[in-house]
Amino acid sequence: MFTPGILTFREFMTHDPLPLATIHQTVLEFLRERSDAVLFGA
**CA 42 – CA 9 distance, rounded (Å):** 22
| pLDDT band for position 5 (cuts 50, 70, 90) | low
Position 42 pLDDT exceeds 70:
no
Alpha helices in the chain (DSSP H): 9-14, 20-31
Q: Find the distance separating the first CA and the last CA of the chain, reported in whole Å.
A: 16
**CA 17 – CA 32 distance, rounded (Å):** 25
**CA 41 – CA 33 distance, rounded (Å):** 19
Q: Kindly report, residue by residue over 18-27, the tens digit of the pLDDT.
A: 888 888 888 8
